[in-house]
Amino acid sequence: MFTPGESPGTFSAFPWLSPRPGCANLVSDIMPEPGRVVGKRILIVDDEPGTRDALKLLLALDAHQVKEAANGKEACYLFVPGDFDLVITDYSMPEMRGDELARTLKCLVPSLPILMITAYAAQVWSRDNPVDAILPKPFTLGELRRTISDLLAPDGPRIRGAMPALQSGPQVRTPDAGRLELGSG
């Protein structure tokens, strides 16, 4: 929603979804990248409704079918092996953390790609965390798309083996222009 007095290209309905300063046209930010993955079945797990709404909006740009869960226990209830191509989870949630959810789902479907999106990337990345990739908040739409493409590559997830920097720890980014501020955890 654009309201009078706002800069062109800003959305009051999602204030944390903000374009680069001075960017009047978001078309280039949302245009699909060549070779992008589309039309996948994705389960989003996050305790913050605004974060789930934003991710759902971003994933809809690539025609993904999305189901939502507000926490890990709800996700376990919704999860049926074979129903999802990817799970995107937060780390810090009530009732069940994202790594606990990932461990549970990996017991059911070891090959299921799981992406963790968190503001605590440096603290949660370890060999004991069973997720396939961690995307630090904030992130760009392009980074989300590339991570999903890497996770859903035809030959299986490429993140852990293909990105040596992530094996010793994530590349934690500080907030800057063009990054999406999605929640706190």
Task: Give the model confidence (pLDDT) of 48-103 as tens digits.
Answer: 999 999 999 999 999 999 999 999 999 999 999 999 999 999 999 999 999 999 99
* R_g over Cα of the chain: 16
pLDDT over 60 (residue 10): no
Confidence of residue 23 (pLDDT cuts 50, 70, 90): low
Residue 93's contacts (CB-CB under 8 Å, 6 or more residues apart) are: 45, 46, 47, 70, 71, 72, 185
First and final CA of the chain: distance in angstroms?
26
The string of DSSP codes covering 49-69 is HHHHHHHHHHHHTTT-EEEEE
Task: Give the model confidence (pLDDT) of 93-143 as tens digits.
Answer: 999 999 999 999 999 999 999 999 988 887 787 778 899 999 998 888 889
Task: Give the C-alpha separation, 50 to 23, whole Å.
Answer: 23
Confidence of residue 148 (pLDDT cuts 50, 70, 90): very high
pLDDT over 70 (residue 15): no
Are the C-beta atoms of 44 and 67 separated by less than 8 Å? yes
Are the C-beta atoms of 112 and 84 separated by less than 8 Å? yes
